[in-house]
Amino acid sequence: MLLRKFGQEVIRHTAGKRIHGTGSVPGGVNKSLSQAERAELLKDIYQIVSWSRDAVHLVKQLHHQNPELYNSFGAFRANYMSLVGYDGGMDLYHGRLRGRDENGNILFDGVDYRHYTDLIEEEVKNWSYMKFPFLKQLGKEKGWYRVGPLSRVQNCDFIATPLAEVERREFMDYSGVMPMHAPLGYHWARMIEMLHAAETIKDLLHDDDIGGTELMVTGARGNEGVGVIEAPRGTLIHHYRVDENDLVSMCNLIVSTTHNNQAMNEAVRQVAARYLNGHEVTEGLLNHIEVAVRAFDPCLSCATHALGKMPLEVEVLDVEGKILSSLTRGSDGVFCA
């Protein structure tokens, strides 16, 4: 809770307020960090780094204590993709796209993200409002992939902050010669990234430029732009065109949850194959499905409102589409068969 509180204070000081910050404007930001704000964050940052390190050790301990569960629950082999810094290190804001196959072999590297359409195609299916992206070079059936912490930690060559790099190396040693494919590995990787973020904040707070007054970039006006960052849940692509009146004439977004769409479906498939008896949906099965889906941190409207209270409905159909069994848990936690 206190880690999250600190993160909210970072957002407030840099973006103006904790929710729907006003700091970002076209071409830059409208405020820098004051000396008082800098001092306030510096006061707590070393404790934050320590707690983040403890969080990594906690998740790591869970994996070592029960490897059969953590290494196999909902596991499936998949390609993965992320932004990687120009030097091969983890970078959440700058760099080029790198993709690997299920064995960890590089599929593409150093790709300018402005040319993402050369790599990725988005399939539409009639049973879902979400698109299904896939890598063109592998095709629809084998080209789907996943993004996010599990991909980033395994895709980069190193992490620039020392404590996080030590943890990354141990994570890679734990998974062995093959990449870790278990969804629960997302949490371990996510904590390594939190430690990296804490270390980076510490370094930035000691940089005098953080209070600088050069807040806007300059340059020629363009009518098209592609932006890519590594959001907490994964790669985020925004692509816009504007007309002569600066009105948006074309917009395409591939958000992290869309990248992970098929991967989440595969996780549910693996859980069902292991825990569903083929006839009856149980409360335990719903819980297992939720654990698998939550590992991807999907951006669904109710996914993170209240722990254990995500509305969820599961149906078992026969080959003709007839419902054999169904179970629903509402947002109030009540089950209904």
Contacting residues for 243 by C-beta, under 8 A, at least 6 apart: 223, 249
CB 31 within 8 A of CB 25: no
- Per-residue model confidence (pLDDT) at position 331: 75
Here the tokens at position 167 are 């943890």
* Residue 144: pLDDT over 90: yes
Here the tokens at position 263 are 């991967």
| Domain assignment present for 206 | no
| Domain assignment present for 313 | yes
Across 288-305, average pLDDT: 74
| Domain assignment present for 137 | no
122 exposure class (CB count in 10 Å sphere: 0-12, 13-18, 19+): middle
Which DSSP string do the residues of 99-168 spell out, in sequence order? Answer: EE-TTS-EEEEEE-GGGHHHHEEEE--TT-SS-EEEETTTHHHH--EE-SHHHHHHHSSB-SSHHHHHHH
CB 32 within 8 A of CB 215: yes
| Domain assignment present for 307 | yes
| Domain assignment present for 282 | yes
CB 134 within 8 A of CB 143: yes
What is the Cα–Cα distance from 306 to 303, expressed in whole angstroms?
Answer: 8
- Per-residue model confidence (pLDDT) at position 270: 95
| Domain assignment present for 283 | yes
- Per-residue model confidence (pLDDT) at position 303: 34
| Domain assignment present for 34 | no
- Per-residue model confidence (pLDDT) at position 300: 56
- Per-residue model confidence (pLDDT) at position 309: 57
* Residue 83: pLDDT over 90: yes
Look up the domain containing 321 and give its range: 261-336
Average pLDDT, the chain: 92
Q: Residue 109 — left, alpha, or beta (φ > 0 → left; ψ -120 to 50 → alpha)?
A: beta
Helices (H), the chain: 2-15, 35-65, 67-72, 116-119, 139-142, 149-155, 162-175, 185-205, 256-259, 261-275, 283-294
- Per-residue model confidence (pLDDT) at position 167: 98
- Per-residue model confidence (pLDDT) at position 304: 35
Across 143-154, average pLDDT: 98
- Per-residue model confidence (pLDDT) at position 310: 63
Residue-wise pLDDT for 216-231, tens only, equals 998 888 899 999 999 9
- Per-residue model confidence (pLDDT) at position 330: 82
Residue-wise pLDDT for 7-64, tens only, equals 999 999 999 998 889 998 888 999 999 999 999 999 999 999 999 999 999 999 999 9
Number of domains in the chain: 1
- Per-residue model confidence (pLDDT) at position 197: 97
Contacting residues for 173 by C-beta, under 8 A, at least 6 apart: none
- Per-residue model confidence (pLDDT) at position 301: 46
Across 81-85, average pLDDT: 98
Go through the chain and tell me how many residues it has: 337
Cα–chain center distance at 20: 20
Least confident range of 248-252, 298-302, 313-317, 328-332: 298-302
| Domain assignment present for 318 | yes
Q: Which residue has the higher pLDDT, 104 or 308?
A: 104
- Exposure string of 166-178, with b = 16+ CB inside 10 Å and e = fewer, is ebbeebeeebeee
Across 128-140, average pLDDT: 93
Q: Which residues pair with 283 in a beta bridge?
A: none
Q: Which residues pair with 173 in a beta bridge?
A: none
Residue-wise pLDDT for 217-275, tens only, equals 988 888 999 999 999 999 999 999 999 998 999 999 999 999 999 999 999 999 999 99
Q: How confident is the model at residue 279 (pLDDT cuts 50, 70, 90)?
A: confident
Here the tokens at position 275 are 């825990």
3-state secondary structure of 278: coil
